[in-house]
Amino acid sequence: MKHCFERASRARQDILRLHEQERELLNVLLACRSAVKGSVYELKTRCGKSNCVCAQGALHGAMVLSWSQAGRTKLMTVVAADLERLVRATGEYRKFRQARAALVKLQKGLLREVDRLEAAIREAAVKTGRD
C-alpha cells in the first residue's frame, strides 16, 4: 500500500514540474508579437547578359524572403528598409513554432502523468477498501 502512495506522490510532483514547464512555454508563445513564416537570405543569380560581370562569376545578389505555401516555395524580394524587421519576425516565427512543438510534447507527457496518478489513487483506494 505504501508503494501506491509513493507512486501517487511522484506523479503529483511530476505533474507540478511539467505544469511549470508548460507555463514557461506559454510565456514564450504569448510574448510573440510579430511572426513571419519563412527565411531571409541573399539570393545570388546571373542576369543572362553575356557582357555582364555575373557572366564571369560575380553574381548579382538580392535579399529575399522564402516560404512554403501549398507545397510550393515562394520568394519575395526584401527591400533594405524591411530587412531587419523581417529577419527578426522570421526568427520569432521559428521560436514560436519550436515552443509550440515542445508544448505538444509536454502535454502528452502531462496526460501520461495524470493517468499514472489516477492508477495509483485507484489502487490505493482498492487496497484501503475505499472507492
Take residue 9 and report the three cell numbers written for it.
506522490
The pLDDT tens digits of the residues spanning 8-61 come to 899 999 999 999 999 999 999 999 999 999 999 999 999 888 889 888 889 999
Decide: 48 and 119 in contact? Cβ < 8 Å: no
The pTM for the full model equals 0.77
pLDDT at 1: 57
